[in-house]
């Protein structure tokens, strides 16, 4: 395994099999981290903090590196700082003083799950105090920006080499929408695919992704309610299909591979990982064919 870890903050896993197999495929996993930074002064139980992330999604998708993809994944918990939120999505309820930079709270912050989360779960606060401006600035500087810059570097390297790049922003989701979600109480599909309602990727690629997962036997939803309103900030930030930069968000139903009550893998994990390997092999063939057409 060719994995480069940076100070417990994120890692980059290069494609296996040499540079000749490197394809313009980049997968990023911003919410599977479980390395607690030393200044994460939280009062929430560890289990609750980890449950609001995407358990094992980086491990599930690591199979794609055997098919020419580059994997970028965060090691810090989502609750510490959320790399899939806009930098200006600052929750004023969390701060001890006025934020001196650009602050434009979005609906996520109103629900307590903005750039910095207020809750680990409903009625489970992360802090018994307000955060100082200095510590929020430090989290942005030391964790948020380096992760996004590393992802940008991987995407740019692929694009400069091929003139095109396909980016999968990968997550998991509970089988039913939770109290802090816009689809609260609703049962969810096996896989949810989002592309900003056709703005972050060529819709033809999104349709291909949906068709491939459907062929593997999964129930797939497209830009469905609860899917970060068509995709989170990373696909909206990096997806520019007019420039041959295609970003799609993929969410896996945790019931496929996880005991949702205890956060432990069940027998479905190996099956799902194997089928993601099949998907990645098909994606590699797609990339090889379509990169020649650019």
**Confidence at residue 230, expressed as pLDDT on a 0 to 100 scale:** 67
Q: Which residues pair with 171 in a beta bridge?
A: 251
The tokens of 33 are what? 């981290």
What lies within 8 Å, CB to CB, of 293 at 6+ separation is none
DSSP string, 4-55: EEETTTEEEEPPTT-GGG--SEEEEESS------TT----S-HHHHHHTS-T
**Confidence at residue 16, expressed as pLDDT on a 0 to 100 scale:** 85
Per the CB < 8 A criterion, the answer to whether 29 and 88 are in contact is no
SS3 102: coil
Task: Encode the chain (294 residues) as per-residue pLDDT tens digits.
Answer: 588 999 889 999 999 864 447 899 999 999 999 999 999 999 999 999 999 999 999 999 999 999 999 999 999 999 999 999 999 999 999 999 999 999 999 888 888 889 999 999 888 999 999 999 999 999 999 999 999 999 999 999 999 999 999 999 999 999 887 776 777 788 899 999 999 999 999 999 999 999 999 999 999 999 987 655 567 999 999 999 999 999 999 999 999 999 998 889 999 999 999 999 999 999 999 999 998 766
Provide the CATH topology of domain 3-85+144-291: Aminopeptidase (3.40.630)
């Amino acid at each position: 395994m060719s994995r480069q870890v940076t100070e417990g903050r994120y890692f980059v896993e290069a494609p296996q099999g040499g540079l000749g197999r490197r394809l313009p495929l980049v997968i990023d996993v911003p919410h599977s981290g479980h390395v607690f930074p030393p200044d994460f002064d939280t009062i929430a139980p560890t289990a609750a903090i980890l449950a609001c992330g995407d358990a094992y999604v980086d491990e599930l998708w690591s199979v794609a590196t055997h098919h020419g993809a580059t994997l970028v994944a965060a090691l810090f918990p989502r609750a510490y700082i959320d790399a899939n939120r806009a930098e200006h999505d600052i929750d004023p309820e969390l701060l001890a003083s006025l934020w001196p930079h650009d602050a434009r709270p979005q609906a996520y912050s109103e629900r307590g799950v903005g750039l910095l989360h207020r809750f680990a779960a409903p009625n489970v606060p992360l802090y018994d105090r307000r955060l100082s401006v200095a510590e929020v600035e430090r989290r942005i500087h030391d964790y948020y920006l380096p992760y996004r810059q590393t992802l940008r570097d991987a995407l740019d390297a692929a694009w400069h080499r091929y003139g095109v790049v396909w980016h999968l922003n990968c997550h998991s989701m509970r089988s039913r929408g939770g109290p802090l979600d816009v689809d609260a109480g609703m049962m969810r599909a096996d896989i949810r695919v989002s592309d900003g309602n056709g703005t972050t990727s060529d819709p033809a690629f999104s349709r291909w992704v949906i068709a491939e997962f459907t062929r593997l036997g999964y129930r797939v939803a497209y830009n469905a309610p609860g899917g970060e309103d068509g995709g989170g900030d990373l696909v909206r930030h990096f997806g520019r299909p007019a420039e041959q930069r295609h970003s799609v968000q993929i969410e896996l139903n945790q019931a496929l591979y996880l005991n949702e009550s205890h956060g432990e893998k069940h027998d479905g994990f190996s099956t799902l990982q194997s089928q993601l390997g099949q998907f990645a092999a098909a994606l590699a063939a797609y990339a090889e064919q379509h990169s020649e057409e650019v």
